[in-house]
Amino acid sequence: MNVRTITTICVIGVLALSMAWAQQGVDFETLGLEMEIAAQEGDFDTAFENADTIIEATPDDVTALSAEEQYWIGHAHMINMGRMMDMAKEDLQEQHRAAFAAGMSDWIIHPHMKTISRGEEVNVEDHLAEGQITIVEFFSPACPNSMQIGPAVEAIAQARQDVSLVKVNINRPEAETIDMDSPVVQQHDLDQVPYFLVYGPDGELQAEGDEAQGMIIGWLEELQQQQQQHQAPQ
């Protein structure tokens, strides 16, 4: 065995060890949470970067990983799949494949719901969905009323193709209670949460506060009636 061969083997061995150390050193949960938050906020450059890091660090044998680690690896592959589908959807020739790719892209990386802000000032009009009704929900994860009504409002955006939901988290990252002193609260002069704005498809504000909440409750009642009719025996 000559010196060149020995050197090559050593280099390969060092690279293999380095890759193993890199895999062991990756905090899948921290990267995954950052990836999830970035995707919710529409920062897909960060979401894709974290997804790539998680996928590259995934060991060949994932059976020894914890359920949480397996979850974040699966989530990273889903984010990556959304990116592939989004790139492919425009040029696919077969209609059913194009429709499937567009649907998966919309579901994963162009959802009808997104969360913006973690207490910092934000111009909500920069996040309106063109040609759709946009509900803007100011909420706090420490507010029981926010957590109670939030899933119901999300159900509207999931059920209706003409409605998008923009959720504004008023809490700064370090806040443990309802953060009514945060910059975004001061910017919009809020005195309570949840607080709603409703914008029309033309981008004009249609309602806010109690009036907006009344519109949302009406949509929820319509959705409930539709579900009851669908479930009723024929």
Domains of the chain: 3-102 (no CATH), 112-231 (3.40.30.10)
Q: One-letter amino acid identity for 102?
A: A
Q: Give this prediction's pTM.
A: 0.60
Cα 109 to Cα 41: distance, rounded to the nearest angstrom: 10
| Tens of pLDDT, residue by residue, the chain (234 residues) | 554 544 444 444 444 434 443 445 678 888 988 988 888 777 888 989 999 999 999 998 889 888 988 999 998 999 999 899 989 988 888 888 888 887 777 667 766 778 888 899 999 999 898 899 999 999 999 999 999 999 899 888 878 889 999 999 999 989 999 999 999 999 999 999 999 999 999 999 999 999 999 999 999 999 888 878 777 665
∠ CA 159-163-166 to the nearest 5 degrees?
110
Classify residue 115 as left (phi > 0), alpha (psi -120 to 50) or beta.
beta
Backbone angles phi, psi at 164, to 5 degrees: -120, 155
Please give the Cα distance from 32 to 59 (Å, whole number): 16
- In the block, tokens 């009851």 appear at 228
Backbone angles phi, psi at 207, to 5 degrees: -160, 155
